Amino acid sequence: MARQSASKPKAVAISPAHPDKAALLDFCRSMLLIRRFEERAGQLYGMGLIGGFCHLYIGQEAIAVGMQAAKGDGDQVITGYREHGHMLAAGMDPKGVMAELTGRAAGVSRGKGGSMHMFSTAAGFYGGHGIVGAQVSLGTGLALANRYRDDGKVAFVYFGDGAANQGQVYESFNMAELWSLPVVYVIENNQYAMGTSVERSSSETHLHKRGISFNIPGAEVDGMDVVAVREAGKMAAEHARSGKGPFILEMKTYRYRGHSMSDPGKYRTREEIDAVRKTRDPIEHLQERLETLDFADEAQIKAIDAEVKAIVADAAEFARTTPEPNPAELYTDVYLETVP
Amino acid sequence: MVIKVGDTVKSGDVIAEIETDKATMEVEAVDEGVVEALLVAEGAEGVAVNAPIARLSGGGTASTPQSPVSGPATIAPQMGEPENGIAPLSPGGGGPAPANAVMKGASQGADAELPAGTEMIKTTVRDALRDAMAEEMRRDADVFLMGEEVAQYQGAYKVSRDLLAEFGERRVIDTPITEHGFAGLGVGAAMAGLKPIVEFMTFNFAMQAIDHIINSAAKTLYMSGGQIRSSIVFRGPNGAASRVGAQHSQDYAAWYASVPGLKVVAPYDAADAKGLLKSAIRDPNPVVFLEHEMVYGTEFDVPDVADWLVPIGKAKVRRVGLHVTLVAYSRMVGFALQAADALAVEGIETEVVDLRTLRPLDHDTVVRSVMKTNRLVTIEEGWGPMGVGAEIAARVVDQAFDYLDAPPVRVCQEDVPLPYAANLEVLSLPSVAKIVAAAKAVCYR
């Protein structure tokens, strides 16, 4: 397994199971939903309806969507602050997510979390964490609970190339392998930690190799290819679920937008971004595949897009008009009542 | 005793093994010679520091070391062995109060909640904490213990003694030395619905993990609109031990007690240690449970009842008095009670309030006491600025300003990192004498 660490993108030794039509159409819909949602969130931010930090997922959609298809019932997901896409992929209501972005009572965190802090126990989504790398220890703890209960669940722990340099990531790797915890680490390598490129911040830039000194196998995956993501995810989940311990997937991806809305974008060229958009866009890549396989024509794809845009427009309208939290909510949810 | 009469001993040879309540260590000979006589019998207990244990020909007498400080590797990793934390030996240093070794702790003021005629069992704070964990682990299969040296080593301070044997390695988990990581794992497991007890070898090391205690455990219930709970206890010794220097000697009470979302408990005696730890483990919120190494070996009465619980958030009036209120927590309660005895001799009747919980703080009990005595002295082992005493004084000024006959006085650690030298350490920390002086000052005596 560990030998996969040496392979190149798109040359990963993952058998491309022939995807069925329904699954690919569903991927297309989910990825479009995320992209349109994020585009609208960017607009609302510009209009002053969303405050604080707001990190968009545009460009990385194939990862959340492909990995969702590799998840089993009851498996958990945890990630950092670029989590809108993960929540939509997990089936959470776009209205609740958008209303949280605008700080409304109907938001998934009742308006108290904001862009970076959203959760849904019903969807098995454990956040939404604002401290870079913290989700890696927390997610390994979810896996510890799975092992403690021996319930067959796997924790999917997402983090970026920036978090990959945090010390607690390696403390967690060590314990995860030591105790054979059922966890899949998904590194979303979008090439830039805020404005610092991987090359400028990492002595080992092949992040799937970061588990080698802990005996954790890793693989590099084309994170712009939703099918490759799904297949890698299934393989890693099977590894973790079967008791072999953690697995690291490095997803090579790219974010089109700034780190957050306040990113001046001085660290990379417009040409670089345009080149990725033109040649590697995950949604266009999937749409071409749908057309080549004759699963959908251009008109059908446009219909999906229109359906998705309507959902997003509804969510935005809801988020704009639904009320802010009652002032009494200021003091709720600080403590749970003690049950004797 | 490893040697017998007639043995030839070279320096460096092991001549005896001594066991304390915290550690087992070997004693090596410093001089050479032939063993003439054994002065202490094999298996003897309560041997004092500096007592000769054998006589060698050639004039050298092997004795137990005055300060059995040894390398970190042999006793407690990352820390020296505080000399007066060792139970069967007499306390070594000129500290202000011998609140260590096996001494009988002063525990005055009966708990109202106890039925008359309840049997009491003499128990050390260390064993009371252990009993609390064992009882809760028997009661709830979701409760488990993790931390450095909690399993096979039996706990760096022997607080988790015998738990591995009873509950097995699934529920008593030795972690690598990786506080940031294992605190995060604990919180993650709590988010998944388990009830971890995370032991820090000392709270000094928890600074590596404070992000997870505050950002992950304390805030997530709020940030998730009430969805994600963390029923977790972070526990371990807090405050100044003895002669371990600034990095191992800090009282974090004020730090954690300032954070909404956390509960913070700091018991003094064994009954409270047991009853509050059981309550903390059952609490659905994250609880920071501050223990004190210097009190681990102290024996107190613990009620012999089936399920001894002490509620979080209730202070306890440990001594009733009219002239001045002393407010303290953790080890400082013992100091306050000794100061009260000394003050009584001079005709000053002291009321001693043991806070027991620092968040939520039982202001009512404090304010009620000050309304009666009209004078307030706060005692904490931590630094004064922005401290627990500052908070209490502010609250008393706010709620009982007209009752005060003197400005409140804070007794606390001097505003310096804790020094190592014995004399400087004593000067730096609160003492019975400092409390007595402060109480007299507010009484204008």
Where residue B354 falls among pLDDT bands split at 50, 70, 90?
very high
CA distances from B136 to A214, B275, B279, B306, B382 (A): 35, 11, 9, 12, 31
Residue B111 has a pLDDT of: 58
Q: What is the average pLDDT across B393-415?
A: 98
**Residue A63 CB-half CA count within 13 A:** 33
| Contact of A248 with A205, CB cutoff 8 Å | no
Q: What is the average pLDDT across A81-94?
A: 96
Q: What is the average pLDDT across B312-323?
A: 98
Nearest chain B CA: its distance from A40 CA (Å): 23
The residue among B30 and B382 whose pLDDT is bigger is: B382
Residue of A nearest to B171 (CA): A148
A134 shares contact with chain B (CB less than 8 Å): yes
A117 shares contact with chain B (CB less than 8 Å): yes
Residue B76 has pLDDT above 70, yes or no: no
Q: What is the pLDDT of residues A164-184, one digit of tens each?
A: 999 999 999 999 999 999 999
Cβ <8 Å between A148 and B194: yes
- For CATH 3.40.50.970, the residue range(s) in chain B are 120-303
Cβ <8 Å between B185 and A333: no
Residue B138 has pLDDT above 60, yes or no: yes
Count each helix (H run) and each strand (E run) in chain B, helices first. Answer: 12, 20
Of A261-275, A304-318, B55-69, B103-117, the least confident: B55-69
Cβ <8 Å between B180 and A334: no
- For CATH 3.40.50.920, the residue range(s) in chain B are 316-442
Where residue A9 falls among pLDDT bands split at 50, 70, 90?
very low
A331 shares contact with chain B (CB less than 8 Å): no
Of B21-30, B58-67, B306-315, B411-420, the least confident: B58-67
Where residue B57 falls among pLDDT bands split at 50, 70, 90?
confident
Residue B396 has pLDDT above 60, yes or no: yes
Residue B85 has a pLDDT of: 34
List the single best residue of A108, A118, A126, A144 to mutate versus B (max B Cβ within 10 A). Answer: A144
Residues facing B55 on adjacent strands: B37, B61
Q: What is the average pLDDT across B318-342?
A: 98
A295: number of Cβ within 10 Å: 18
Residue of A nearest to B311 (CA): A340
Within 8 A of A143 by CB-CB distance, chain B residues are 188
| Contact of B288 with B324, CB cutoff 8 Å | no
| Contact of A126 with A108, CB cutoff 8 Å | no
Q: A182 in helix, strand or coil?
A: coil
Of B51-55, B241-245, B248-252, the least confident: B51-55
Where residue B19 falls among pLDDT bands split at 50, 70, 90?
confident
Q: What is the average pLDDT across B181-189?
A: 98
Nearest chain B CA: its distance from A39 CA (Å): 24
Residue A92 has a pLDDT of: 97
Q: What is the average pLDDT across A155-163?
A: 97
Q: What percentage of chain A carries pLDDT values higher than 70?
A: 94
CA distance A101 to A37: 11
Nearest chain A CA: its distance from B41 CA (Å): 46
Residue B98 has a pLDDT of: 35
Of B104-113, B360-369, B434-443, the least confident: B104-113
Residue B80 has a pLDDT of: 37
Residue B112 has a pLDDT of: 56
CA distance B219 to A113: 10
| Contact of A11 with A225, CB cutoff 8 Å | no
Q: What percentage of chain A carries pLDDT values higher than 90?
A: 90
| Contact of B274 with B268, CB cutoff 8 Å | no
**Residue A311 CB-half CA count within 13 A:** 22
Residue B368 has pLDDT above 90, yes or no: yes
CATH 3.40.50.1820 correct for B316-442: no
Which domains can be identified in chain A, with CATH numbers? 2-324 (3.40.50.970)
Cβ <8 Å between A332 and B226: yes
Q: Which of A110, A141, A175 sits opposite B187 (nearest CB)?
A: A141
Residue of A nearest to B144 (CA): A148
Rounded to the nearest integer, the mean pLDDT of chain B is 88
List the single best residue of B143, B223, B279 to mutate versus A (max A Cβ within 10 A). Answer: B223
Where residue B263 falls among pLDDT bands split at 50, 70, 90?
very high
Q: Which of B176, B185, B283 sits opposite A140 (nearest CB)?
A: B185
Residue B268 has a pLDDT of: 98
Of A87-101, A302-316, B65-79, B108-122, the least confident: B65-79
Where residue B423 falls among pLDDT bands split at 50, 70, 90?
very high
Where residue B23 falls among pLDDT bands split at 50, 70, 90?
low
Q: What is the average pLDDT across B270-299?
A: 98
Q: What is the average pLDDT across A105-111?
A: 97
Q: Which positions 166-185 of A are in contact with B (Cβ < 8 Å)? A: 167-168, 171-172, 174-175, 178
Within 8 A of A118 by CB-CB distance, chain B residues are 224
Residue B61 has a pLDDT of: 58
Cβ <8 Å between B225 and A113: yes
CB pairs under 8 A between A and B: 151
CA distance B76 to A303: 68
CATH 3.40.50.970 correct for B120-303: yes
Residue B54 has pLDDT above 80, yes or no: yes
Residue A241 has pLDDT above 80, yes or no: yes
Residue B266 has a pLDDT of: 98
Helices A61-68 and A282-292: crossing angle, nearest 10°?
60
**Residue A169 CB-half CA count within 13 A:** 26
Residue A288 has pLDDT above 70, yes or no: yes
Q: What percentage of chain B carries pLDDT values higher than 70?
A: 87
Residue B96 has pLDDT above 70, yes or no: no
Of B33-37, B154-158, B168-172, B347-351, the least confident: B33-37
Residue that the structure tokens 């931590």 belong to: B382
A97 shares contact with chain B (CB less than 8 Å): no
A156 shares contact with chain B (CB less than 8 Å): no
CA distances from B275 to A274, A338, B136 (A): 64, 15, 11
Residue B126 has pLDDT above 80, yes or no: yes
Residues facing B123 on adjacent strands: B300
Within 8 A of B210 by CB-CB distance, chain A residues are none
Q: What percentage of chain B carries pLDDT values higher than 90?
A: 73
Residue B114 has a pLDDT of: 77
Rounded to the nearest integer, the mean pLDDT of chain A is 93
Residue B212 has pLDDT above 70, yes or no: yes
Q: What is the average pLDDT across B210-234?
A: 97
| Contact of A257 with A60, CB cutoff 8 Å | no
Within 8 A of A333 by CB-CB distance, chain B residues are 221-222, 224-226
Nearest alpha carbon to residue A128 among B182, B224, B226, B189: B224
Of B21-25, B87-91, B155-159, B320-324, the least confident: B87-91
Nearest chain A CA: its distance from B252 CA (Å): 21
